[in-house]
Amino acid sequence: MRNRIIAIAALAGALSAPLAAQAQETTMGVARSGQAVIVGDNDPDGITVSERPAFREYVVRERVPTYTVPERVVVGTTLPDAGVTYYDVPQSVAQTPYRYTVVNEKTVLAEPRTRRIVQVID
């Protein structure tokens, strides 16, 4: 009987682990209603709070032109195929797999292949 209880507990733990990991991933991105969900201040793949001043200074210094879109600029929005130029984030400023651009006067990080905005830098 004891072995059966241990086996059931182990099975329950193994089945609940993926659910717990999946729940943690849903805290970033876009809610189903289309409203932006705030990305954590220390997003490991984006620009962290401590890197933002240097990154803002870099973008201003580079004088990156803004691209205008009719929609609001929020996390999860996919940018158009044409007209938007993406720039590499210099490693001296931040380490990120994403590229940046300026849309509607806001600096954003986007996933290069999908053109989806992953972070809006305020």
Judged against a pLDDT cut of 80, whether residue 119 lies above it is answered with: yes
| 15 domain residue, yes or no | no
Q: Which domain holds residue 75?
A: 29-121
- Tally the domains of the chain: 1
| 9 domain residue, yes or no | no
Comparison of pLDDT for 54 and 1, the residue scoring more:
54
Structure tokens at 1: 């009987």
CATH of the domain at 102: 3.10.450
| 4 domain residue, yes or no | no
Three-state secondary-structure class, residue 62: helix
pLDDT one-digit tens code per residue, 18-61: 544 444 333 344 433 343 434 444 455 788 999 999 999 999 99
Q: What is the mean pLDDT of the chain?
A: 76
Sorted by sequence, the CB contacts under 8 Å of residue 18 that are 6+ apart come out as none
| 21 domain residue, yes or no | no
| 22 domain residue, yes or no | no
Residue reference for tokens 């931040």? 94
Mean pLDDT of 84-111: 92
Residue reference for tokens 């990120």? 96
| 23 domain residue, yes or no | no
Q: Is 37 left (phi over 0), alpha (psi -120 to 50) or beta?
A: beta
